């Protein structure tokens, strides 16, 4: 820690300075923007160095913050923390670069001082969540993160939609916090310490019932933040209404704090847990991935679509964790390492491509003035840079080779496949079935991103605003370019990046992962070269050679023939307009009908007549899908809570005598049950 400590302190100091600068320059938006983002940039750079050093020279030293004296607040940068710190640093750096351009048009209309303040507070909260080494500091940082994220989500609070989303978010977030707190208290009561180092493997020594309870509390508590189904409902509301740079941070890294918590609990606090925990986590991951992508398919709000894809990708990550937990229990540390690396690598990859997609979407939304895809179209001509970066993100998130999403999904597949041989019980059927459902998820995601790129960016503009859109300013494109480059580097260079996981798996599972992951120095393998290899760099190289040859030959040919540009043929119908184009609603219609049992689609066609019922003057068409979770799960729960509180009102009679009686009874009860020992 000796080397990385100063950089971590520098980063925290920088964020603090950024927050203060935001507050100080409250009245001067331009200064606030430049100062707050400048400090954020400096901080993320320092953070990247700290994370990189901690991964390169894994040392496991904790140290206390000099400022805090009342409680012991220790920070620790072990390899697992370092990985998340690095993820945070890469994403936040690109987002901050982007924000210079993105926030500029808001200077006149918005309070950028407040935005700068909460932006930096969020970064402080995240840094501390990933490095906190005791439960007290962790929970405090968790709340700093949750509250500053709430303030950022509510930034455009004059809209009712935004206020509603922010309130749902903060309620759900606190429900999660209560569960995490309960789990920590149960653990702390057992170890009589709040220190994470005393929790190491301690959870497995709890009595079985308590062990399961603590596990489920942690899983659900962190799951709320990560957005696992059915605790996800806040996510597709909250992420889109925030400013787009904040959406990128929320979907990219804030929900990953839940993933960090899970990793910490699953692989640090627990030794090999009971087998059922792994199966539960794997099953929840599969359901989360599928539900996320199915809702994304029917979403025509560009940013909500991306938010639902965050749920899908969290599902993929959680699947990796589930498989790793099962392998750990079944005594296959090498396989557990591959599954865990798949999940953690996907965490970084998702942060990068989802950040990229939100940044590009932000540029589009700022320009076109709507999040509705049906009013976009043809943007690839007016915003070529943004369109290109969005396409890179779309290819990466669809898990197509040779970009980074493919690598992490490949690792997850391989781990699931190898899982079949680890046990002889019926449980082993779970692995290939999960793999097949992962394939369904990935294919649906590809379909969804054909829509998400094709409808807004291709064909003819569907509205005046889309026809007059301007390319995003240089700073915004630079932020996107950084993340797009990261997609390429992590995809093509996977063979050279993945050995960075050695210290993490060494710490968590006791085996370095690279011997079972790198084949012949140039390809990835799963366990051994015989079990299957892949080389994204090799694929990219051969692809370039083959496509290059084809381009060369065809273009030589094309010089000899007439190449004309004309109106689209469209089966001989002249006069193609934007009204003829396929819409996002039409594109996803086949899947809406095929999965109608899940979506419960509703549609309403109402013709309006002037005179004769045979000649309608207008036809109104409405279609939608049923928000199942909100309606069938949260609706009744809300009704129940309200009913309960109405009945509770009876004991709040307003009589001082009654209240004194309550205090007395409580005291007696506490004396009876609380002071047993």
Which of residues 569 and 615 has its CB atom nearest to other proteins in the complex? 569
Within 574-613, which residues bind other proteins (CB under 8 A)?
Answer: 576, 578, 580-582, 586-591, 593-594
Q: How far is the CB of 219 from other proteins (least distance, A)?
A: 26
CB neighbour list of residue 258: distance below 8 Å, 6 or more residues apart? 176, 222, 223, 224, 225, 226, 227, 314
Within 130-159, which residues bind other proteins (CB under 8 A)?
Answer: none
Within 227-256, which residues bind other proteins (CB under 8 A)?
Answer: none
Q: For the chain, how many residues are written?
A: 677
Q: How far is the CB of 50 from other proteins (least distance, A)?
A: 36
Nearest-angstrom CA–CA distance, 106 and 127: 27
Residue 446 binds to other proteins (criterion: CB under 8 A):
yes
- Per the listing, tokens 């430049």 go with 34
Residue 381 binds to other proteins (criterion: CB under 8 A):
yes
Q: What angle do CA 396, 401, 402 make, to 5 degrees?
A: 90
Binding-site residue total for other proteins (CB under 8 A)?
84
- Per the listing, tokens 């370019």 go with 481
- Cβ burial, residue 263 (10 Å; 0-12/13-18/19+): buried
Member of 56, 61, 171, 433 binding other proteins (CB under 8 A): 433
The 8-class DSSP code of residue 644 comes to H
- Which backbone phi and psi does 256 adopt, to 5 degrees? -70, -15
Residue 604, H or E segment = strand 602-609
Q: How far is the CB of 289 from other proteins (least distance, A)?
A: 12
User: Do residues 392 and 354 lie in contact, with contact meaning Cβ atoms separated by under 8 Å?
Assistant: no
Q: How far is the CB of 436 from other proteins (least distance, A)?
A: 4
Q: How far is the CB of 310 from other proteins (least distance, A)?
A: 20
Residue 400 binds to other proteins (criterion: CB under 8 A):
yes
In the numeric block, which tokens belong to residue 544? 């370039």
Task: Report CA-CA distances (Å) from 197 to 61, 257, 414.
Answer: 11, 19, 33
Nearest-angstrom CA–CA distance, 159 and 315: 31
Q: How far is the CB of 560 from other proteins (least distance, A)?
A: 9
Member of 561, 605, 644, 651 binding other proteins (CB under 8 A): 561
Which of residues 144 and 488 has its CB atom nearest to other proteins in the complex? 488
Residue 566 binds to other proteins (criterion: CB under 8 A):
yes
Which of residues 15 and 406 has its CB atom nearest to other proteins in the complex? 406
Member of 20, 23, 139, 440 binding other proteins (CB under 8 A): 440
Residue 569 binds to other proteins (criterion: CB under 8 A):
yes
Which of residues 234 and 413 has its CB atom nearest to other proteins in the complex? 413
Stretch that binds other proteins, among 38-46, 53-61, 443-451, 650-658 (CB under 8 A): 443-451
Within 448-507, which residues bind other proteins (CB under 8 A)?
Answer: 449-450, 453-455, 458-460
Stretch that binds other proteins, among 78-86, 118-126, 147-155, 531-539 (CB under 8 A): 531-539
Which of residues 199 and 587 has its CB atom nearest to other proteins in the complex? 587
Nearest-angstrom CA–CA distance, 428 and 415: 12
Q: How far is the CB of 415 from other proteins (least distance, A)?
A: 11
Beta-carbon count within 10 A of 649 CB: 8
Within 625-644, which residues bind other proteins (CB under 8 A)?
Answer: none
Member of 437, 480, 484, 513 binding other proteins (CB under 8 A): 437
Which of residues 258 and 461 has its CB atom nearest to other proteins in the complex? 461
- Per the listing, tokens 């943007």 go with 379
DSSP letter for each residue of 381-399: HHSHHHHHHHHHHHHHHTT
Q: How far is the CB of 543 from other proteins (least distance, A)?
A: 5
Member of 413, 469, 481, 509 binding other proteins (CB under 8 A): 413
Query: What is the arrangement of strands in the sheet containing 523-526, beginning at the earlier edge strand?
Result: 518-519, 523-526, 528-534
Q: How far is the CB of 406 from other proteins (least distance, A)?
A: 6
- Which backbone phi and psi does 75 adopt, to 5 degrees? -110, 150
Which of residues 67 and 426 has its CB atom nearest to other proteins in the complex? 426
Residue 587, H or E segment = helix 584-587
Member of 18, 385, 435, 503 binding other proteins (CB under 8 A): 435
In the numeric block, which tokens belong to residue 147? 């509250």
Q: Could you tell me which of 7, 21, 234, 54 has the C-alpha nearest to residue 121?
A: 21
User: Do residues 405 and 413 lie in contact, with contact meaning Cβ atoms separated by under 8 Å?
Assistant: no
Within 533-552, which residues bind other proteins (CB under 8 A)?
Answer: 533-535, 538-539, 542-543, 546-547, 550-551
Maximum CA extent, the chain: 101
Site string for other proteins, 507-526 (x = CB under 8 A): ------------xx-xx--x
Within 40-79, which residues bind other proteins (CB under 8 A)?
Answer: none
Member of 189, 443, 653, 660 binding other proteins (CB under 8 A): 443
Angle between helices 404-419 and 302-329 (to 10 degrees): 40
């Amino acid at each position: 820690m000796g080397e990385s400590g100063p950089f971590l302190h520098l980063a925290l100091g920088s964020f603090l300075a950024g927050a203060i600068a935001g507050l100080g320059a409250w009245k001067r938006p331009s200064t606030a923007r430049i100062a707050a983002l400048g400090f954020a940039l400096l901080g993320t750079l320092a953070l990247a160095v700290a994370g990189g050093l901690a991964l390169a020279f894994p040392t496991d030293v904790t140290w206390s913050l000099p400022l805090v004296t009342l409680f012991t607040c220790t920070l620790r940068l072990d390899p697992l923390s370092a990985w998340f710190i690095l993820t945070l640093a890469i994403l936040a750096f690109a987002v901050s670069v982007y924000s210079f351009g993105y926030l500029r048009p808001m200077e006149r209309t918005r309070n950028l001082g407040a935005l700068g303040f909460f932006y930096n507070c969020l970064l402080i909260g995240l840094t501390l969540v990933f490095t906190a080494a005791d439960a007290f500091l962790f929970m405090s940082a968790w709340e700093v993160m949750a509250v500053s994220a709430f303030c950022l989500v509510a930034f455009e609070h004059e809209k009712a939609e935004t206020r509603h989303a922010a309130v749902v978010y903060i309620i759900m977030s606190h429900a999660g916090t209560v569960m995490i707190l309960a789990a920590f208290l149960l653990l702390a009561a057992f170890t009589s310490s709040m220190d994470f180092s005393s929790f190491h493997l301690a959870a497995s020594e709890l009595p079985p019932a308590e062990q399961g309870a603590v596990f489920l509390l942690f899983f659900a508590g962190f799951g709320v933040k990560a957005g696992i189904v059915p605790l996800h409902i806040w996510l597709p509301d909250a992420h889109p209404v925030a400013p787009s740079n904040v959406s990128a941070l929320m979907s990219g890294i804030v929900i990953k704090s839940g993933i960090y918590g899970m990793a910490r609990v699953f692989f640090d606090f627990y030794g090999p847990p009971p087998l059922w925990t792994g199966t539960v986590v794997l099953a929840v991951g599969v359901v989360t991935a599928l539900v996320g992508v199915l809702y994304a398919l029917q979403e025509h709000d560009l940013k909500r679509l991306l938010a639902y894809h965050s749920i899908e990708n969290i599902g993929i990550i959680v699947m990796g964790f589930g498989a790793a937990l099962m392998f750990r229990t079944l005594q296959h540390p090498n396989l557990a390492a591959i599954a865990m690396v798949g999940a953690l690598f996907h965490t970084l990859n998702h942060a990068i491509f989802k950040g990229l997609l939100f940044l590009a979407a932000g540029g589009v939304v700022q320009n076109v003035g709507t999040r509705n895809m049906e009013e976009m179209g043809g943007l690839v001509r007016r915003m070529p840079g943004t369109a290109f970066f969005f396409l890179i993100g779309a290819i990466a998130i669809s898990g197509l080779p040779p970009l980074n999403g493919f690598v992490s999904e490949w690792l997850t597949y391989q781990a699931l496949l190898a899982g079949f041989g680890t046990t002889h019980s019926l449980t082993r059927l779970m692995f290939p079935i999960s793999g097949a459902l992962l394939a369904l998820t990935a294919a649906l995601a590809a379909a969804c991103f054909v829509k998400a790129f094709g409808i807004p960016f291709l064909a003819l503009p569907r509205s005046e605003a889309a026809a007059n859109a301007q390319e995003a300013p240089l700073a915004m494109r630079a932020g996107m370019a950084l993340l797009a480059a990261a997609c390429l580097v992590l995809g093509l260079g996977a063979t050279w990046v993945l050995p960075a996981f050695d210290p993490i798996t060494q710490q968590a599972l006791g085996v370095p992962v690279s011997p079972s992951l790198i084949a012949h120095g140039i390809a990835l393998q799963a366990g051994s070269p015989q079990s299957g290899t892949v080389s994204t760099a090799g694929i990219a190289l051969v692809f370039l050679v083959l496509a290059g040859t084809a381009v060369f030959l065809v273009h030589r040919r094309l010089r000899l023939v007439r190449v004309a540009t004309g109106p689209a043929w469209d089966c001989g119908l002249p006069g193609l307009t934007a009204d003829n184009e396929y819409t996002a609603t039409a594109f996803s219609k086949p899947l809406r009908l095929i999965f109608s049992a899940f979506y419960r689609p509703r549609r309403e066609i109402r013709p309006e007549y002037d005179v004769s019922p045979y000649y309608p003057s207008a036809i109104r068409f409405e279609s939608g899908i049923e928000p199942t979770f909100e309606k069938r799960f949260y609706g009744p729960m809300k009704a129940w809570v309200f009913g309960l509180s109405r009945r509770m009102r009876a004991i709040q009679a307003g009589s001082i005598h009654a209240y004194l009686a309550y205090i007395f009874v409580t005291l007696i009860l506490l004396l009876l049950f609380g002071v047993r020992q």
